[in-house]
Structure formats: structure tokens, C-alpha cells
Amino acid sequence: MNKIHIFDTTLRDGEQSPGVSLNLQEKLEIAQQLAKLKVDVIEAGFPIASQGDFEGVRAIAQNVKGPAIAALARASKGDIDRAWEAIKYSDRPRIHTFIATSDIHLKYKLQMTRDEVLKKAVEAVAYAATLTDDVEFSAEDAFRSDLDYLCQIVEAVIDAGAVVVNIPDTVGYATPWEFGNFIAEIKKKVPNIDKALLSVHCHNDLGLGVANSLAAIKNGAQQVECTVNGIGERAGNASLEEIVMALYTRKTFFNYETDVDTREIYRTSRLVRNLSGMSVQPNKAVVGKNAFAHESGIHQDGVLKERTTYEIMNPELIGLVQENIVLGKHSGRHAFKVRLQELGHNLDEGDLEKAFVRFKSLADKKREITDKDLDAIVEDEIKKIPEAFKLEYVHISSGTRIMPTATVGVIVDEQLIEEAACGSGGPIDASFRALDKAIGIHPTLENFALNAITGGRDAMGEVNVTLKHHENVFTGRGISTDIMEASVKAYINALNKLAYEIGVEKQNEGEEQENGNDNHRKDLSCTCR
């Protein structure tokens, strides 16, 4: 079978989703999981965008082994130099440079002629090729470009040193029939196309991102650019898990395969969901809550007799394993540790002890602990961000005929600070207002989402919040069998990320002043491709 290269842009295009803001530790955690997933390329970010983006890309290049690490750069020497500074530490660094090629972008955005864009594209690729032999070129808004002109650019950048050429449907305008033919024409008209890998990058504005990517593969594309859970700007990008499982499930039709370890798909999806704060819709293909659920009696009967009657994929293929150990309050450390290892959580002794204490506390409230409960405990308890603020307690008074009030105790600098507040929006509003008073930060609550991790009255509740502070966005997550406690934990988690980010920014500002280097932030009005 022929191989399709999987280029993951969750940390670059995915992070450009409205309301998503990942800190360095979160980016590194996702990148390490993507390496376990065995994607071919991780696009780690856009280093010229900000000092934070630069630091994130550099940390990934220094610490993540296996996949090629790509950094995005506009077709300019400054962007390319900044990208190289970030990714040069990788064993497999890739510079990914781009410029728009459609007439509408040339006229209204770039205000350049076709000849000027051609020259700039060639110069950018040629310069990047002096730094690394792995250079990718993207023609932004390629599908709405004149085909003959696009082919001229593709041929020229390959001659200049591009080893990967990407054809994006930047605004999700194409249909599968058109896009497949478009790729076939490029393969036919570009004489040196066999000297480069042909890639596609499809957006999902019409819900056709995955379909267009698969149509491109059938017509000669060798790399697909996609994101976990399909996150991305506007309606998102082509979904990695859908493309990979389509190729796996219909391998006799496509005759292509990937190197992706499908057993890591569900774990990767869950991690991205939790850290990005973007929920996965229940009926989402492959990784949605209902993807392997059967409510119809006819369907249930068929699956019980023979799974393949109504399931075209085995859930274990994506890492959804069946529970074979029932854990409860009488379970010991060994059984707990073994089950965590089976779920892919290999904790050191300190983290294992913290998780076990949390497990025992939960087991006193629930008769049986599910795998989803265990995943949630590990993800919630083993924190990656230093805790500037630690919740000591929360007391709430509420009812239908009284004003909700909340009293909180928060440990700040080893001192207990207590505050109370009322909330016209209910007890959760009162709790958040009390926390604001105690900590002295007053962010805007942009989003609040509550989900049940498991079923039943004793279900674990999961709360995700998004806070905005001085134009920066921070997500927080909390879990508990008590939704009030989960809400407060999520808010505290987001506030801790805010405090961590402020600390990092102050450190970076000091370094920049010391080095006289204060010009990293740029106007990035045209970063989307």
C-alpha cells in the first residue's frame, strides 16, 4: 500500500480557533501525545506571531522526538529566520512558508501582481532551503487561484528547493468532485511534481473538509494537513481521526495507509478537548460520545448477535477499551495502578499517590468507578501548571426565594484569604464573584460548559470555563460529583493559568529588555491559510 503522510496542525491552525489559548506546558503535552499517535509532522506554531508562540515552538523542537517539527512563516526573511531560530533544535526541522496566490487575495490583501508574488515565493523557498533541506510551500487560497498560474508557482518553488507543496482550500469553498479534479490537473500540468510531496489542507466551512481531503488522496495527494477533533478557524479543519479511520476502514477502496497508531486516537482527542476547552459534539464521527452507542432496539439486537451488523469500526481500534476490572472503595493500590497503566497512564510514585487519594475519596461517593472516572481523576489531579491559588473551601447558600451567596477560602502565598459575595446569576455566579474578590483579579467569563462524564445520579460532572483578561483567553477545567465544586475548580484552574502566563510574560519582558530585543510582536492580519 502507498503511504499518506499525516501533517497535524492542531497547535497552529487549531489554536487559531476562537476562544482557544494554550500555554507552553499545554502545547508541549499535546505535542508529546501527537508523537505517541505517530503523526508524521507536527506544525508547532507560528514563531513570529509572539514571544509565547516562539517559546512554544522551541520547547517542542527541543523535547519532542519522532515527528518532523514544522514552523509556519510568511514569505519573508524575517519570518523565516524567526521560524528557524525556534525549530533548529529538532532532529527533523521543517520550515513551512506561504503566500496567497488567488487574484482576490493579491488584489485586496497583498496588493501585489502575479509576477511579484511568484518572485517572492521563489525567494522565500530558496532562502529557507539554505537553512534546512525540509522546506514546505503553501499557496494560500490555492483552490480559488487561476490553475495555470498556480501550476507555474508550484513548478518554480519546487525548482527553488521545496520538497513539499501544499494546496489549501483556505476558505472551505471546494466540493470533493472539483477538488479531486483540481489535484489531478496539478499532477498533470506541473512537470517536476514528482520531485515534491503533494499536500492538501482543507477547511470545513461547507462541512466537506474530510471529503475534499479524501478526494485529493484518490487523485494523487500524498500528505493531508488536519487537526485533532477538526478544530480550527471558523468551522474548523479536516478532522485527523476521520481521515485516518476512513483510510483504515476502507483500505481496500483507497489502497493507502498511514503510520498513525489508531489506539492513541481517543486519548489524543480527549486531551485536546480538555486543554483547548472545545467540547466534542456527541454525534461527532469516530470520537463523539455517541459514535459507538446504540439506542434502537433493532440495532442493539444486531450488535449483540454480531458487532459488524451496525459497527464498521471496533471501538478498541481507537483506544476505547472495555472495562475488565471493577474498582470500588475496597480496591487497593495495585489494582488501581494496573488499571491506570492499561488506560495509558504511567505515573511516577508521587503522582500515583495523589491520584490514589483522589480515587479513594471518589469511591466513598460512588459504588463503582469507571474508566472515564479514572481518566478524569488523572487529568484533573496531575496538574501541569503551578498553583498560585489553591481552593481551601467553598460554602454556598442558595434557594428559589433568597439571593445566592458564596464564601470561599483560597490559599495565596501560603495565607488563607476568605471572601464572600452575592450573585444575581445564581450560586455559581456568587462563587466566581467571591473568588474574584479573594484573588484580586476580575476576568470576563466568556464561556461556561457543564457535562456529565458518566451516567447516573452519582455521575462525575465536568465543567469547562473560558476567561478573558486583557485580550488574553484562558481555559479551565474541573471535575467533581458536586457540580458547584467542579465549577469553582474550573475557575481556579483558569485563574492559575492566567497567573502562570503573567509570570512568564514578565520573565520574557525582562529577557527582551536585557537583550534589547523587543520587536518580536508583529501585525499578523493575514496569518490564516
- Higher-confidence residue of 39 and 526: namely 39
CATH topology of domain 297-381: Recoverin; domain 1 (1.10.238)
pLDDT in tens, 107-135: 999 999 999 999 999 999 999 999 999 99
CA–CA distance, 482 with 457 (Å, rounded to integer): 11
Q: What is residue 315's predicted lDDT score, i.e. its pLDDT?
A: 86
Which H/E stretch holds residue 391?
Answer: strand 389-397
Residue 401's pLDDT is 85
Query: Stretch 388-413: mean pLDDT, rounded?
Result: 92
Distance CA 522, CA 48 (A): 7
pLDDT of residue 424: 86
Q: Is the dihedral of CA 161, 164, 170, 175 positive or negative?
A: positive
The per-residue pLDDT for range 52-76, each reduced to its tens digit, is 999 999 999 999 999 999 999 999 9
User: Which region among 47-56, 93-102, 264-273, 325-334 has the lowest average model confidence (pLDDT)?
Assistant: 325-334
Pull the grid cell for residue 33: 501525545
Q: Residue 73, SS3?
A: strand
Portion of the chain with pLDDT greater than 90, in percent: 63
CA 146 from centre of chain: 33
pLDDT at 365 over 60: yes
Average pLDDT score, the chain: 89
SS3 content of the chain, % helix, strand, coil (to 5): 45, 20, 35
Q: Which residue has the cell 517572492?
A: 120
Report, at the CATH architecture level, how domain 2-276 is classified: Alpha-Beta Barrel (3.20)
Q: Which fold has domain 389-515?
A: Double Stranded RNA Binding Domain (3.30.160)
Q: How far apart are CA 134 and CA 205, in angstroms?
A: 30
Please, which pLDDT band fits residue 505 given cuts at 50, 70 and 90?
low
For the residues 19-25, what does the mean pLDDT come to?
A: 87
pLDDT(362) > 90 = no
Query: What residue spans define the domains of the chain?
Result: 2-276, 297-381, 389-515
Cβ atoms of residues 35 and 27 within 8 Å: no
- What is the Cα–Cα distance from 373 to 527, expressed in whole angstroms? 39
C-alpha separations of 213 from 40, 196, 246, 336 in Å: 17, 18, 11, 42
Per-residue model confidence (pLDDT) at position 38? 98
188/194 Cα distance (integer angstroms): 10
| pLDDT number for residue 518 | 41
Over the stretch 511-527, which tens digit does the pLDDT of each residue have?
555 554 444 333 443 33
SS3 392: strand
Q: What pLDDT does 348 receive?
A: 82
- Please write the tens of the pLDDT for every residue from 458-481: 778 889 899 999 888 888 888 888
In this prediction, residue 508 carries a pLDDT of: 57
Query: One fold for both 297-381 and 389-515?
Result: no
Summarize the confidence of residues 2-6 as an average pLDDT: 96
pTM of the complete model beyond 0.85: no
Give me the phi and psi of 475, to 5 degrees please: -105, 150
Taken in order 390, 279, 239, 258, the sign of the CA dihedral is positive
